[in-house]
Structure 1
Amino acid sequence: MNPSPLRSLEAGAPFEAVVAVRRKERRLSRQGKPFLALTLADASGSVPAVVFDEADYFATRFEVGDRVRVTGRVTERDGRASVVVTHLRPAADEVAAEDLLPRSHRDPDELWGFVLHLADEVGDPGLRATLEALTGDAALARDWRTMPCTRSGHHAYIGGLVEHTVGVASVVQALAVWHPRLDADLLLAAALVHDVGHARAFRLGATFELTDEGRLLGHLAIGHEIVADAARRAGLPALRRAELLHAIDWHHGPPPGQAPGAAGPEALALWRANALEAGVKARLEGPGPVD
């Protein structure tokens, strides 16, 4: 049987597919019998699943992030499809890991071209040199084009980071036209690099996983470090560097210990533009957290 897209399941139908395990929990039924609660995923979506029979045996055969071939039957619970698993086995040699990951409907390489075009519109020489140092880093640029923004919220797919980058940059450009007293170069540069930390916070497997750096530091701290290093190498003056980092550090709102009124106008604009773009995208994709 060919793998079935997880968004087109029908209750009562047999199920067989190679999927990624996104979640794995051992639980006990009311009768005290162990079972496994899983989330299975492929490029089309995800579905909850349970293993009732021989749960402890099957639990030893896979871990979160593994690719497995699952056999079972589709049921419906609370109006949503679910899978009762009767058998599963490792299947890493059957499907490439990235084939199970969702992808942007837009071409990431084309979106990267927009990033480069927007970077060229920054007139400030120091900011422009900083952007060139970042976009000219081949390894960073590759991951910038590839990684998601979240694992299960907005832009949670391959190419999500670069798509979100272009979206936020487009929003702040419009805002700078409406409010000409904003520092348009600073705001656009900050928008282009505000989430660059995600490029090192995630890694691609059969699911989106955090790197050790991403788990321990988070994308805000990683992004601050990446941009600060590039700014120093580009010779960006200290005050300008501080203004750029201030805006980036505020893109999710006040950093710890700072009141909302401490934001500069560009930092405030980026904070709101980021929330707007991410929030709209999350709503279009369905309910879920905005990270």
Structure 2
Amino acid sequence: MPQTVATLRAGDELAAVLACTRKDRLTARSGAPYLALELRDRTGAIPGRAFRDADALAAGFDRGDLVRVTGLVERFGDQLQVQVRTIVRADPREADPAAFLPVAYRDLDELDGFLEHLAREVHDPGLRGLLALLLDDGDVRAAMRRAPCTRNGHHAYLGGLLEHTVAVGTLVVEVTQLHQGLDRDLLLTAALVHDLGRTREFTYGAEIGLSDEGRLLGHVELGLRMLAERAPRVAGLSAERRLALEHCVLTHHGPDAAGRAGAGSRFASVEALALFRLNAVDAAVKGAIDHGLGLDGGG
């Protein structure tokens, strides 16, 4: 059975892949450098100390990496710590971030099924074709199952993007039954793709980080680019429908948050307004459930 932090006892020899969530180079009273570490998995965290060859060891990994570490578990005062012998960055093929990062509460296979059901509710040929092109892409589907929505706000865990997408799509189905003047196909498609850029926004290791394109462009721009890459390949998707969909995606945090010249300060369609409100409802409610009423749900 693989070692976990929760099962470690004084005297154990540690040999495991763990997340490094703290890395400080300090100086002992003798003047020699040493490393102060925090090593973590989903079961807990344990401090680590590396006194021998501290600088050489430090060159082999960074804070935020998944690391392969060996050492001796000892009791220091009232807590356990690891006297580290070796520590190096783990091979990505041997370390699944899902073992170290928080994951969705709901079953991802079930959410995948809901996503496909919602996509089948879109009857407009062009929009339905665009959704099919996206959902038939195995890389996109895998990325949707993995990505969070945020790093510290609502749905801030692996699979959070899929959970939030299904929730907003479900809200659209309900709202369009109450308000039949809404363009159901447009609004539902927009709900299912509005956060598509999240699939390229993050990196995964000891912590959820931002990719370079996520940091520099943001998920709205990334999502629009993903749509632009595929839309020309969809028969029957008119320029007018594509533009209406892109406007919904662009303004799903509000027209002032779009950050693009020409976005304007108001919505160009009632569907864009509806998506903004429904997205905000799910984000705010989920954020409050997970973090308390003081959290602004954000995206």
TM range (shorter): 0.7 to 0.9
Amino acid aligned to 2:87: R
Partner of 2:133: 133
Compared CA separation, residues 27 and 247, structure 1 to 2 (3 A): farther
1:55-79, Cα deviation, whole Å (9 max, x unpaired)? 8676445302232548677999xxx
Corresponding letter in the other structure for 2:169: A
Report the Cα offset of residue 245 of structure 1. 0.4
CA deviation after TM superposition for structure 1 residue 279, in Å? 2.0
Name the aligned partner's letter for residue 277 of structure 1: D
The two structures, once aligned, show a CA RMSD in angstroms of 3.9
Instruction: Flag the 1:59–1:159 CA change in 2: closer, same or farther, 3 A.
Output: same
Given the superposition, is the C-alpha separation of residues 90 and 221 from structure 1 closer, same or farther in structure 2, using an over 3 Å criterion?
Answer: same
**Measured at CA, do residues 184 and 49 of structure 1 come closer, stay the same or move farther in structure 2, by a change above 3 Å?**
farther
Q: Measured at CA, do residues 162 and 60 of structure 1 come closer, stay the same or move farther in structure 2, by a change above 3 Å? A: same
Q: Which runs of 5+ in 1 are unaligned?
A: 9-13, 77-81
1:146-172: CA deviations, max 9, x gaps? 222223332222222111110111112
Aligned residues: 278
Tell me, yes or no, if the aligned pair for 1:154 and 1:285 is still in contact at 8 Å: yes
Question: 1:111–1:163: 8 Å Cα contact kept in structure 2?
Answer: yes
Map of 2:269 onto structure 1: 264
Structure 2 residue identity aligned to 1:129: G
Are residue 286 (structure 1) and residue 291 (structure 2) matched? yes
- Contact residue 169 and residue 192 of structure 1 kept, 8 A: yes
Aligned counterparts of 1:35 and 1:170: Cα–Cα separation in 2: 53
- 1:79 aligns to what? none
Structure 1 position 53, deviation (Å): 7.6
Contact 2:4 2:41 in 1 (8 A): no
Is the alpha carbon distance of 1:22 and 1:281 closer, same or farther for their aligned partners in structure 2, counting shifts above 3 Å? Answer: farther
How far apart in 2 are the matches of 1:189 and 1:75? 58
Q: What is aligned with 1:218?
A: 218
Instruction: Answer whether contact 2:65 2:89 (CA < 8 A) is retained.
Output: no
Q: 1:238 to 1:247 in 2, by over 3 A?
A: same
Q: Distance in 2 between matches of 1:164 and 1:102?
A: 15
Give a deviation string over 1:75-97, Cα, whole Å, max 9, x none.
99xxxxx9977648347379623
Instruction: State the match for 1:276 in structure 2.
Output: 281
> TM-score, length-normalised on structure 2?
0.74
Deviation at 1:218, TM superposition (A): 1.7
Q: Residues 154, 36 of structure 1: CA spacing in aligned structure 2 closer, same or farther, 3 A cutoff?
A: farther
| Distance in 2 of aligned mates of 1:66 and 1:135 | 31
Gaps in structure 2 of 5+ consecutive residues: none
CA apart distance, 1:24? 4.8
Match of 1:107 in 2: 107
Q: Percent identity?
A: 43
Partner of 2:41: 42
Partner of 1:89: 87
Q: Given the two structures, how large is their TM-score scaled by the length of structure 1?
A: 0.76
Aligned AA (1:43):
R
* Counterpart position of 1:19: 18
Query: Which residue matches 1:11?
Result: none
Deviates more, 1:260-269 or 1:184-193: 260-269
Q: Aligned partners of 1:26 and 1:290: how far apart in 2? A: 36
Aligned 8 A contact 1:154 1:278 in 2: yes
Bigger Rg, which one: 2
- Report the CA distance between 1:190 and its aligned residue: 0.2
